[in-house]
Amino acid sequence: MIIYADNAATTKLSDKALKAMLPFFTDNYANPSSAHFFGQKAQDALRWGRFTVAKCLNAGANDKLIFTSGGSEADNQALNSIAQSGLKNNKKHIISSKFEHHAVLYTLEQLKKYGFEIELLDIPEDGIIEPSAVESAIRPDTAGVSIMLANNEIGTVQRIDEIGSICRKAGVLFHTDAVQAVGHIPVDVDNLNVDYLSFSSHKFHGPKGVGGLYVREGAPISSVINGGSQEFGFRAGTENLPGIIGTAVALEESLENLDYKIAQTTAVRTYIQNEITAIPSVKLNGDPLKRLPGNLNFSFEGVDGDSLRYLLEEKGICASAGSACNSSSSKPSHVLKALGLSDALSKSALRLSFDETLSIQEAVYIISSIKEVLSELWN
């Protein structure tokens, strides 16, 4: 038996998305910027893809949806747009949190070189940021705020709508990294009160190498890739049309019967969660309820995380310690360290991430395998 429990790293491309993409490799392969009828046919497909994704996010008619190479590029573009606006308005203070994805944290680190003051909020033990903490941090010179919607390692879901409302009242630009949330929980950009929202297709059964940045009407936007006039002039380079079509189809498909999918996934998650946390010396990382339906993150006292994951892999279970972007690093997770965990507990972590296709029989196998491996490691 092989069980893939690493959906937070990437998901399988859906059959429907693959089928929709194939004609754009072999038949309708023209450049959407070409003036001839063949190119305009591709342009029509691009418009359909943009309209479909925008509709899924409930974007307004005058909002922008810029297709990118993925979530990291979208995060970079949002933060650089906030910074450029801040420079024009003499506002050089940006607020974020200590457990953001490195695409955000490393970009903010770069902005320090241009005189920006970066304030990273502390993270409570449950992984839920209080909106009041953001409100207290806002100053007259605050250019923007960036808080992720759902954490990629521990799955906790933030009250982005409340944070967005606070930012809007203060006249501060607000970005959320929604890479882990889009396609898995309802994401309505209007209700969330965001100016910028990042997403990545391969997290919801779309293709790798494509994502996007939602930009609210009137929010300033700067390009990070210069050249041609593609993507409203804000992201140069010929569009990845097959990827965009796959993204649109995959997102539509992910949102079909979403309430059922959430209920099904949450039920299996709760079962695994209850069984594993009943084991002595096991800690669930993050709030037990305010988390993504298919995300669990545990730490195991006295256990080497690499050994745990290796032994589970021998049993056919593919899981991870946390972010796939940093899987080769020997350093403890910055997310778990932000929660206050020791280096040892941080390095013992196991993340299980899955969707509604994980059966109860597979869940039982995961539980029994973890118990067997722990018994072996502890003895």
pLDDT score recorded for residue 164: 99
Question: Could you give the C-alpha distances from 256 to 56, 58, 185, 239, 361, in angstroms and in order?
Answer: 11, 15, 11, 27, 24
Q: Specify the CATH number of the domain 257-378.
A: 3.90.1150.10
Kindly state the DSSP code that residue 6 receives in the 8-state scheme: B
Return the HEC string of 332-343. Answer: CCHHHHHCCCCH
User: Rounded to whole angstroms, how far apart are CA atoms 318 and 160?
Assistant: 31
pLDDT score recorded for residue 321: 85
Q: Which residues make up the CATH 3.40.640.10 domain(s) of the chain?
A: 15-255
- Active-site positions read 325
Nearest to 355 by CA among 267, 275, 293: 293
Per-residue pLDDT of the chain in tens (379 residues, 90 and over written 9)? 899 999 999 999 999 999 999 999 999 999 999 999 999 999 999 999 999 999 999 999 999 999 999 999 999 999 999 999 999 999 999 999 999 999 999 999 999 999 999 999 999 999 999 999 999 999 999 999 999 999 999 999 999 999 999 999 999 999 999 999 999 999 999 999 999 999 999 999 999 999 999 999 999 999 999 999 999 999 999 999 999 999 999 999 999 999 999 999 999 999 999 999 999 999 999 999 999 999 999 999 999 999 999 999 999 999 998 655 555 557 899 999 999 999 999 999 999 999 999 999 999 999 999 999 999 999 8
Bridge partners, residue 177, by sequence: 198
CATH architecture of the domain covering 15-255: 3-Layer(aba) Sandwich (3.40)
Determine how β-strand 295-300 pairs with β-strand 350-353. Answer: antiparallel
DSSP output for 150-212: B-TTT-BB--HHHHHHHHHHHT-EEEEE-TTTBTTB---HHHHT-SEEEEEGGGTTS-TT-EE
